[in-house]
Amino acid sequence: MKYRELGNTGLSVSEVSFGTWAIGGDWGNSKDEDGLRGLQAAMEQGVNFFDTADVYGGGHAEELLAKATRGKQDEIHIATKFCRAGDIHDPENYSARRISEYCEQSLRRLEREAIDLYQIHCPPMEILRDGSVFAALDQLKAEGKIRHYGVSVETIEEGLLCLEYPGVAALQVIFNLFRQQPAQELLPQAAAKGAGILVRLPLASGLLTGKFTASSTFQENDHRRFNANGEQFNVGETFAGLPFGKGVELAQKLEWIAEGRGNMARASMRWILDHPAVSCVIPGFKNEAQVNDNLATLDVPSFSPGDMERLAAFYQSEVVPYIRGEV
């Protein structure tokens, strides 16, 4: 395993870490025993950081993490998120009282005394501009309930605003071959300010595995079906904001990246890790096989400068015109 510093937090995290949305829910059917075996396999190979949220399976993902990490609280770091269990546009949802309640509920489910990284879960811009939420998080930090805090953001503008608040230790962003814009300004600014970068949706909801065809379908309880066009939440959280058919077509044009790198998924995450401002990628998983395949990313070669230029040009000319939603 290879590790990187999570900004200025003092935490050293595995380059390939894991998100738990898929084992919590909203990615089709999953089995707890498969998820637990995957978590165990990850830890056995040196993964020391996991990302979750209080709304993943209504808290179930946090409970699975608690079960998998019992007795390892000092060596396995956990980031969780809050706010989407309530009305994300209501200022009261971000009051010190409400945030403390969210935090206590997560601590109980995680079976921990403190949360390593507590993140606001994609709040609207007006909440970030107001800034009161950060004072509440400072209070939780002073109380020892959280060690650090950050924000999971949807857009570059939100990320840059968050960096203006000195207590923000990390940003969680959508960054992949179909969403390259953060590399231009957000990643350099985060590095300059000592903020860590967690990359979610590194495979664009699976498009960048190269396994889908235009006729691929998804289960009713999979967000790739019920949010394919942003019906339930931000369209950018599903297929990087691309229409599914166009995403499949574009992924086929990127098949060359797998040459010498095993498969498209490993190559896609290698591209992300080739950006030094990134602290870690947090792909999802449902079972041990997916964990092992994602961890093989660490063994594949980096992209050449020429390849990086080719991929940047591809993004600008062929991907950007089809991205929906704010970026």
The Cα 202–Cα 186 span in angstroms is: 16
Confidence of residue 26 (pLDDT cuts 50, 70, 90): low
Span 144-155, average pLDDT = 98
Contact 268, 257 (CB under 8 A): yes
The Cα 25–Cα 20 span in angstroms is: 9
pLDDT at 77 over 70: yes
Backbone φ, ψ for residue 79 (5° rounding): -110, 135
Position 32: which residue type?
A: D
% the chain with pLDDT above 70: 99
Which of 23-27, 249-253, 302-306 is predicted with the least confidence, judged by mean pLDDT? 23-27
The length of the chain in residues reads: 327
Tell me if residue 313 falls in helix, strand or coil: helix
Confidence (pLDDT) at 235: 87
Within 10 Å of residue 162's Cβ, how many Cβ atoms?
25
56 is catalytic: yes
Residue 271 CA: distances (Å) to CA of 175, 189, 215, 264, 280: 10, 19, 28, 10, 12
Confidence (pLDDT) at 27: 61
Q: Output the furthest CA–CA distance in the chain (Å, rounded).
A: 53
Mean model confidence pLDDT for the chain: 96
Backbone φ, ψ for residue 250 (5° rounding): -70, -40
Q: What is the pLDDT of residues 99-125, one digit of tens each?
A: 999 999 999 999 999 999 999 999 999
Q: Are strands 49-51 and 168-174 parallel, antiparallel or unpaired?
A: unpaired
User: What is the pTM assigned to this prediction?
Assistant: 0.95
Whole-number CA gyration radius for the chain? 18
Q: Which of 56, 94, 118, 315 is flagged as catalytic?
A: 56
Q: What is the pLDDT of residues 174-227, one digit of tens each?
A: 999 999 999 999 999 999 999 999 999 999 999 999 999 999 999 888 889 888
Q: What is the pLDDT of residues 252-282, one digit of tens each?
A: 999 999 999 999 999 999 999 999 999 999 9
